[in-house]
Chain A
Amino acid sequence: MVNGTAVYVLWLREMKRFSRAKSRILGSLIMPLFFLAFLGLGFSRMPVPGVASGVNYIKFLVPGILGMTLLFSSTMQGLSVLWDREFGFLKEIMVAPVSRVSIALGRIAGGVTTSLLQALLILAASILLGFRVRSGLALLAALGLMILISFAFIGLGLIFASRMKDMQGFGLVMNFLVFPLFFLSGAFYPLGNLPWVIRSLSFIDPLTYGIDGLRAVLIQTHVFPLALDFAVLAVFAAAMLFLGAYFFEKSESV
């Protein structure tokens, strides 16, 4: 059912494309970097209500920016099926004697790798700005959370890409799904500062748990227990992956 070679070659294709799209990678990293640098430095001397005393705002911001980078790059990766459809390459993939599940897995594997690489570049940049990762274990836990976040939103992107025929729906998905997920996640500010109506919406945003988990392991400040963060993310990621693969399987390729 799952064809290892096919998964590998689809992953390899993503790696080659990624390594050749230097300007595109730079473009997708520049926005989170600006946020990090300007918001971080701008607010660093100001006390932000809700941020624990002794936690510098830039430290508070880094996990949020990591979550944001993963959200955007992973959703884009999931939606990249649309590009392949637009440029015709999807037909070449779909006409091959390979199960649709293998194709979905190959895409997901490629997408997780590229998203993770982008997030790690952001982490490296924040270390240049003075951020410190406490231990190898913390880094490992953070990596685990980042992989789950990435899986979840690639799955989500894949669901939408499988249901859409062309690029038109792309803006809708970005504006009505990705941006709200981002703003509700508390990437920039503590959720305690939001009015309760909006805060309760935050609680159903899976990215909230992702960023909270990252804060727990990277800067030891969090709202929910770390186990809950992991559990919510894992369940959501599994559901999205299953649905993404399911809808991709059902989609017509022309």
Chain B
Amino acid sequence: MDAIRVENLTKTFKDVTAVDRVSFSVPEGELFGLLGPNGAGKTTTINILSTLLRSTSGRAEVAGHDVAADRDEVRKSIGVVFQETALDGRLTGRENLEFHAMMYGLNKVERRRRIDDVLGLVELADRAGTLVEKYSGGMKRRLEIGRGLIHRPRVLFLDEPTLGLDAQTRRHIWEYIQRLNRDHGVTIVLTTHYMEEADILCGRIAIMDHGRFVALDSPARLKDILGGDVVSLEVEGDAGELLAGIGKIDWVKTANRHDEVLTMTMERGERRIPELVTFAQARGVVVRSVNLHKPSLEDVFLHFTGSTIREREAGVGDRNRMMMGRGRR
């Protein structure tokens, strides 16, 4: 059975289409990733699936319940860890969990047992009596992940679970997520803009850009689409003309240009590099540096969207900052 089924989901805010006719389904027990830059529509998708926002059109089912019509049923079957901390800093760790367990209608005995379980799982048992405002970022994150599990949800949404955490804590949280999915069979949907995270954790990944899915497959298959190796050339001269020429070579599978850098994919790239350099020189273009690597999700993203995720973020980031500057006093 599918844990999530989404058909033509669309959400518009005034004149911006945040989610644009998205369709997908997630089978029970899968660890599904939404990968994309900030502003791609990942969080909006999660907010609709977790009943916090109503969609403009299209429909979505979570754990067999319609997210618009059966909100309470959906709410009972899901756990959500939001992108921004959603803890009460003036309550202790245990009190935050207690609040959650009571809101989900667990009785006293059950509450005690599950809260102790969860505190053990996220290794916060010894800090449970401390006010959450004194917690570090990693501890807060762990507490929130633990909280999302108290009521044994069938589907767990994790919105950027490791955003802003240090490398060690991040690895720690990856382990939790994998364990939850493997040992407890919880269906997990996570959003991330870290390629590495999506690659390591997810069974399937949807690449999201401008509110749409541009690709959806397992990380390995996504990388296979590019075929073989990724070769980039940093050049001096008429890069545009060179790109046109290279694009016509039959063993070049894909070719992209990005300012002075041409990125191509091909089989056995190490043997093709000399040919490429000769090809460029014959057209009066100087090759300044050459790079060869196995395709990463970053290359996949570049292939599908024509820019790297980091550049996308920079652009969106500036826009957000401007909006915030206008919005706040």
Q: Do A and B come from one complex?
A: yes
The complex places the Cα of A98 from the Cα of B73 at a distance, in Å, of: 10
Given that A16-B91, A95-B75 are known contacts, is A254 also in contact with B103, CB under 8 Å in the complex?
A: no
Chain B min CB distance to A5 (Å): 6
**B85 in the interface (beta carbon within 8 A):** yes
The answer, among A8, A9, A88, A166, for a CB contact under 8 Å with B84, is A88
Find out whether the CB atom of A92 lies under 8 angstroms from the CB atom of B104. Answer: no
The answer, among B52, B73, B84, B95, for a CB contact under 8 Å with A253, is B52
**B284 in the interface (beta carbon within 8 A):** no
Find out whether the CB atom of B50 lies under 8 angstroms from the CB atom of A17. Answer: no
Chain A min CB distance to B179 (Å): 23
Find out whether the CB atom of A91 lies under 8 angstroms from the CB atom of B86. Answer: yes
Contacts of A252 in B (CB 8 A): 52-54
**A94 in the interface (beta carbon within 8 A):** yes
Find out whether the CB atom of A5 lies under 8 angstroms from the CB atom of B105. Answer: yes
**A89 in the interface (beta carbon within 8 A):** yes
**A6 in the interface (beta carbon within 8 A):** yes
Chain A min CB distance to B73 (Å): 8
The complex places the Cα of A8 from the Cα of B85 at a distance, in Å, of: 24
The range of chain B's interface size is: 20 to 34
**A13 in the interface (beta carbon within 8 A):** yes
**B89 in the interface (beta carbon within 8 A):** yes
Contacts of A94 in B (CB 8 A): 52
Closest CB pairs A-B (n = 9)? A97-B75, A96-B103, A9-B102, A88-B86, A92-B86, A97-B76, A88-B84, A91-B86, A97-B72
* A interface residues, tally (CB under 8 Å): 28
The complex places the Cα of A98 from the Cα of B98 at a distance, in Å, of: 15
Contacts of B52 in A (CB 8 A): 91, 94-95, 252-254
Q: List 21 A-B contacts (CB under 8 A).
A: A5-B103, A5-B105, A9-B98, A13-B88, A13-B91, A20-B90, A87-B85, A90-B86, A92-B82, A92-B86, A92-B147, A93-B103, A94-B52, A96-B75, A96-B100, A97-B76, A97-B103, A99-B72, A168-B328, A252-B53, A252-B54
Contacts of B51 in A (CB 8 A): 95
The residue on A at minimum CB distance from B89 is A87
Find out whether the CB atom of B75 lies under 8 angstroms from the CB atom of A254. Answer: no
The residue on A at minimum CB distance from B95 is A16
Which residues of chain B from 90 to 117 have any CB-CB distance to chain A below 8 Å in the complex? 90-91, 95, 98-100, 102-105
Chain A min CB distance to B60 (Å): 15
**B271 in the interface (beta carbon within 8 A):** no
The residue on B at minimum CB distance from A253 is B52
Residue of A6, A89, A94 with most partner-chain B CB within 10 A: A89
Chain B min CB distance to A4 (Å): 10
Residue of A6, A89, A92 with most partner-chain B CB within 10 A: A92
**A21 in the interface (beta carbon within 8 A):** yes
**B307 in the interface (beta carbon within 8 A):** no
Given that A6-B103, A95-B75, A253-B52 are known contacts, is A89 also in contact with B47, CB under 8 Å in the complex?
A: no
Find out whether the CB atom of B82 lies under 8 angstroms from the CB atom of A91. Answer: yes
Find out whether the CB atom of A21 lies under 8 angstroms from the CB atom of B85. Answer: no
**B252 in the interface (beta carbon within 8 A):** no
The complex places the Cα of A20 from the Cα of B75 at a distance, in Å, of: 31
Chain A min CB distance to B202 (Å): 23
The answer, among B87, B99, B131, for a CB contact under 8 Å with A9, is B99
**B321 in the interface (beta carbon within 8 A):** no
Given that A16-B95, A95-B75, A253-B52 are known contacts, is A89 also in contact with B86, CB under 8 Å in the complex?
A: yes
Extra inter-chain contacts (18) besides given A5-B105, A8-B102, A13-B88, CB under 8 Å: A3-B105, A9-B98, A9-B99, A16-B91, A87-B85, A87-B88, A88-B87, A92-B86, A92-B100, A92-B147, A93-B103, A96-B103, A96-B104, A97-B72, A98-B103, A168-B327, A252-B53, A253-B52
